[in-house]
A and B are shown apart, each in its own frame.
Chain A
Amino acid sequence: MESTMIGTKTINGYIKRLRSLDRESLQQDIELRVEKARDVFEIIVANDLAKIGMVLLAIFLIVGLFAPVIAPHEPNERQTNDQGDWLRGEDPSITYPMGTTDNAHDIFSQVVFGTRVALMAGMLTALMVGGLGTFAGIIAGYSGGYTETAIMRIVDLAYGVPFLPFAIVLVIVLGANLWNIVLAISLILWRETARVVRSEVLSIRELADIESAKASGASDTRIILYHIFPKVLPTAVLYSVFAIGWAILAEAGLSFLGFSDHEMVSWGSMLQAAYNGQALDQSMWWWIFPPGICISLLVISVYLISQGIEEVVNPHLREV
């Protein structure tokens, strides 16, 4: 009787100590992760160019978010004078800071609303490319065998398809709207993320902690989620950020060719209207420059940030 009492007591004490140890290690783990995240953030912020990129992107995000407040007019609203005549091709003035188009639309308002389309295209594509590419890359690299071969053949296929022509055909078939443009772009761009993530997983698979996790009976899902995914995350993020830039350029290009929702004003469709609307012949520089400069600046901001993330992924790029 007495001996079992002592027994349970000891066991209870033991479990208690184990639990507190566990809690401690969990706490340490969290602290370690927070510290690591802070390190990563500090590396990115230490990079001046990346800082400039973040500020630029923040400005675009604010403009996109508050577009209806910032834009003085609706993007497709005809501007008229007191007599009710359309104000076609007005020079920039205080009322129309960037002038008007030959269809009497306010260019400044169009540029502001166009920000939304570009940001949406960029972010949605990044999500799809990051998700699809990382998933395919991890599965291919971790499982090996036929699964790997099959996935990599599809990646090869995506590499063999000419990017813009494929996107054009797909958008024509599925219908010209933003979602289909994003889908078309993502169906091509996931290839790079998948390939890079796979090759990383191939080397991660050989690490000791994967071996020990396997030996202690962890399931594949657990190994992928807790041991592999955190290690490929920086790369996955980097390639998703690259995809934002690609997507914005591709969306602008497709809209310029006329493959976009005509109700939705984007920077690309503005340039299409300007190009077809004789903006060149009539020297309407205020119609040609703003949309293009906005595309460039937004993509520049994304690449500047990606260049900071690259220093996290590729430590030898860091200046010492």
Chain B
Amino acid sequence: MNTKKYILKRIVSTVATFFAIATIIFFLFRMVGDPASLFMSPGMGGEQLERIRSSFGLNDPLYVQYYRYMVNIVTLDFGVSFYYQSSTGPIVIERMINSLFLTMPAILLAYVFGSIGGVVMAWRRGEPLERVGLLGAIIFRSTPRFWLGIILLFVFAGILGWFPSFGMLSQDIEFRGHLALLLEPDFYHHIILPIASMTFYLMGLPLLLMRTSMLEVINEDFVDVCIAKGLTQREVMFKHVARNALLPVVTAFAVGIAFSFGGNVLVETVFSYPGVGRLMVDSVFRSDYPVAQMSFLMMAAVVLTMNFLADLTYFYLDPRVKAE
């Protein structure tokens, strides 16, 4: 298939999927509750409530609201938050970047160590080390992230007192933009525990994938040639077999970013970290549609983009896909 045509096709279907998800989410959120109740105070009359409803356009028929919502998405204007009483965009984007700061290091660490571990496991096939690795991968994947987070909090923040137990920054330090955050040692002090609790969980998949993929490649003829050429076993494993076995892991990496983004809610809750997942859950409880919707859509956009990138990498790296 033609490269350009393939990419174009994938872009169109990704965008279409995004709008389908946006539609589902619109109707789901309308079923959650009445956002006007957020503004209810004991002395408030029905008349005042009506005014609030109409000022947010909640009295219009559903299709008008839906139309406005779709226009908002296309123009990237997500309206005013019911709860924060300010524009939704900056609130969600700030939380989104906070979440990325947590997810990216965790997933990078997990995939680097996971792939190396997978190579070693395939290399030591049949030895006790492989067993240990296999068992380790299964244990990592079976341990709930939030529970591991609680345990880490319990041991390292509670008993040993090495790390702070909540938030992104200590109370006396002011948040001054994300660039300043990256230069702030206190920030790193805060994110070590949440990152650790995510990394362990995320490491299981690349470990298993890399091992399986290596075992497939190891049986191919070119490996015998490499050995016959007199290359050391380390060279054969890491340079030749691993490079050919990496494809599924690379694809899983992109999808993994997408996946862990959704699962962040749990870790963010345990560590009271101001991320986008936490924001969505809070906003759902407050019936703050604009924020909840945009948070969800941003997460969906990340998932879709990553899936798209995964497909593209596959397309570029594996000539067999192109031939189809």
Interface residue? B126 (CB, 8 A): yes
Contact with A along B101-127 (1 / 0, CB 8 A): 000000000000000000000000110
**Contact, CB under 8 Å: B25 / A169:** yes
**Contact, CB under 8 Å: A280 / B144:** no
**Contact, CB under 8 Å: B142 / A160:** no
Closest to B270 in A: A275
Docked complex Cα distance between A170 and B28 (Å): 7
Interface residue? A49 (CB, 8 A): yes
Docked complex Cα distance between A292 and B142 (Å): 10
Task: Classify chain A's interface size.
Answer: 35 or more
Q: What distance in Å separates the Cβ of A272 from its nearest Cβ neighbour in chain B? A: 9
The answer to whether residues A300 and B219 also contact, given A163-B259, A165-B265 and a CB cut-off of 8 A, is: no
Residues of chain B from 287 to 317 with CB closer than 8 A to chain A in the complex? 295-296, 299-300, 302-304, 307
Contact of A285 among B14, B18, B154, B265 (CB under 8 A): B154
**Contact, CB under 8 Å: B265 / A319:** no
Contact with B along A298-320 (1 / 0, CB 8 A): 01101110010000001011010
The answer to whether residues A319 and B126 also contact, given A169-B32, A252-B144 and a CB cut-off of 8 A, is: yes
**Contact, CB under 8 Å: B151 / A307:** no
Chain B residues within an 8 Å CB radius of A153: 13, 17
Chain A residues within an 8 Å CB radius of B98: none
Docked complex Cα distance between A160 and B143 (Å): 25
Docked complex Cα distance between A125 and B216 (Å): 31
**Contact, CB under 8 Å: B150 / A173:** no
Contact of A271 among B147, B159, B302 (CB under 8 A): B147
Contact with A along B126-137 (1 / 0, CB 8 A): 100001001100
Closest to B216 in A: A316
**Contact, CB under 8 Å: A164 / B144:** no
Interface residue? A133 (CB, 8 A): no
**Contact, CB under 8 Å: A169 / B126:** no
**Contact, CB under 8 Å: B266 / A161:** no
Contact with B along A156-186 (1 / 0, CB 8 A): 1101111111101110110000000000000
**Contact, CB under 8 Å: A292 / B263:** no
**Contact, CB under 8 Å: A249 / B261:** no
**Contact, CB under 8 Å: A295 / B144:** yes
**Contact, CB under 8 Å: B262 / A288:** no
Chain B residues within an 8 Å CB radius of A288: 150-151, 154
**Contact, CB under 8 Å: B147 / A292:** yes
Could you jot down 18 A-B contacts, CB within 8 Å? A49-B131, A160-B14, A161-B300, A163-B263, A165-B281, A168-B265, A168-B281, A245-B142, A252-B147, A274-B150, A275-B150, A280-B153, A280-B158, A283-B154, A296-B139, A296-B142, A296-B143, A303-B142
Knowing that A153-B13, A165-B281, A165-B299 touch, tell me 19 more A-B residue pairs with CB under 8 angstroms: A156-B13, A160-B300, A160-B307, A165-B262, A166-B262, A170-B28, A245-B141, A249-B144, A252-B144, A257-B265, A274-B150, A280-B158, A283-B158, A292-B151, A300-B142, A302-B142, A303-B141, A314-B212, A316-B216
What is the interface of chain A, defined by CB distance below 8 A to chain B?
A: 49, 153, 156-157, 159-166, 168-170, 172-173, 245, 249, 252-253, 256-257, 271, 274-275, 280-281, 283, 285, 288-289, 291-292, 295-297, 299-300, 302-304, 307, 314, 316-317, 319
